[in-house]
Structure 1
Amino acid sequence: MSDDETERTVKLTDPRTLRAYAHPLRMRLIGLLRTEGPMTATQAAAQLDDNVPNCSFHLRQLAKYGLAERAPGADGRERPWRATAQTTSWDDDSDDPAMRSAADELNSVLLGGFMQRAQDYLAVRGDEPAEWRAAAGFSDALLHVTAAELRQLTEEIEALLARYDQRLTDPATRPPGSRAVQLIQLAVPRGPHDRGAETAHG
């Protein structure tokens, strides 16, 4: 599979695969392959400040579950790895207790990574140019919406972000002065589920 043939999304559909992906280093490795392109375990270890055997093991595990694969390389001694897709998805609405438990475990690891990324930014924020300090940051909004409205809002946000998709894979489309920015989306209901109100409006 060439770089141009990389799939948009790989979907995780069983508890075993969800739990296999729910590992901080594996998520960081996939993120690195997606943003930096194919690389060897040695190169990945240097980028992530980890050791080569550990990165090599987890890359093989990612390959086992269809998230990474070997890519052609100039050096036959150590061929690079590549991600098989640009994003990973899974369902959070399963009625299967095993799937719900595995999805919760994966979401917990994902949230931990998001929080660490935010903490890392705060640690260096003072060194950022003023224009970037003004543009970046944290905010929140409290909405009163139905589940259907929240899903629609999420789809609208995803459509807006899709305008920048080409820049992920084609550096030539990135304007001067641009840099990688991670937008973190959290949609978290507050308070208990009011089934009476749902019935009254249903």
Structure 2
Amino acid sequence: MADSIRLDDPRALRAYAHPLRLSLVGLLRRNGPMTATQCAAALDENVPNCSFHLRQLAKYGLAERVPGADARERPWRATAMDTSWADDSDDPEMRAAADQLNAVILGRYIRLAEAYLATRAEETVEWRRAAGFGDYMIYVTAAELSALSERFDELLAPYGDRERAADGARPVSVVQLTMPRDEP
């Protein structure tokens, strides 16, 4: 599996901007190769729906078939550990497709954050203290914000290669959201 895949086609961005497709790619990245039946069970979906969306992901290079344990098993795997796309295109079609994908991803993270809040009380004090929300208002140029984003990626990079269960580690979503604001 490659480290990253970059989507530069608006059709690929729109294809990826589907909640089930995002879930399928995430599932394959976390769990490794799985059949459509296994994906459907894990995501509480039906098999034909998962099978269709896996084929769509394959069409745009985001998933691929791999050999199974026997001739009947037909597993899929993600082609890369992360997906990137251009958010700075001057092409209106590319901008609209990137905005659509970003909106779907934002909605997904909002739902995940709400689900975390609903069960946060069940976490240990250690995890409640470590996880959470915050915000900062900073004053930077576009170049400084780009440099800050790069430093943030460098800071997180060592944690991406760790084994899932090493030293009591748990998967944690870290969401970066930077947006220019007008002064109130």
Provide the residue aligned with 1:67 in structure 2: 62
Of the three residues 2, 11, 14, the one matched with 1:7 is: 2
- Unaligned segments of structure 2, at least 5 residues: none
Q: How does 1:1-202 map to 2 (within 5 A)?
A: 6-167=1-162, 170-171=163-164, 174-191=165-182
Provide the residue aligned with 1:195 in structure 2: none
Report the secondary structure of 1:60's partner residue: helix
Report the secondary structure of 2:168's partner residue: coil
Question: Matches of 1:101 and 1:95 in 2, distance apart?
Answer: 10
Percent of aligned pairs sharing the same letter: 63
Runs of 4+ in 1 over 2 A off after TM superposition: none
Report the secondary structure of 2:161's partner residue: helix
Q: How far 1:42 sits from its partner (Å)?
A: 0.9
One-letter amino acid matched to 1:39: M
One-letter amino acid matched to 2:132: G
Question: Matches of 2:55 and 2:114 in 1, distance apart?
Answer: 30
Aligned length: 183
Question: Matches of 1:122 and 1:189 in 2, distance apart?
Answer: 27
1:51-109 residue CA offsets vs partner (Å, 9 max, x unmatched): 11111110010001000001121032131110000000000110111111111111100
Question: Matches of 1:129 and 1:40 in 2, distance apart?
Answer: 35
Question: Matches of 2:33 and 2:68 in 1, distance apart?
Answer: 9
Q: How far 1:156 sits from its partner (Å)?
A: 0.2
Question: Matches of 2:179 and 2:31 in 1, distance apart?
Answer: 31
Question: Matches of 2:70 and 2:35 in 1, distance apart?
Answer: 10
1:1-58 residue CA offsets vs partner (Å, 9 max, x unmatched): xxxxx11110001111110111011001101111111111111111111111111110
The structure with more radius of gyration: 1
1:117-164 residue CA offsets vs partner (Å, 9 max, x unmatched): 111111111111111111111111110000000000000000111111
Provide the residue aligned with 1:196 in structure 2: none
One-letter amino acid matched to 1:53: P
Question: Matches of 1:121 and 1:165 in 2, distance apart?
Answer: 21
Question: Matches of 1:95 and 1:153 in 2, distance apart?
Answer: 23
Provide the residue aligned with 1:199 in structure 2: none
Question: Matches of 1:122 and 1:99 in 2, distance apart?
Answer: 34
Question: Matches of 1:128 and 1:71 in 2, distance apart?
Answer: 37
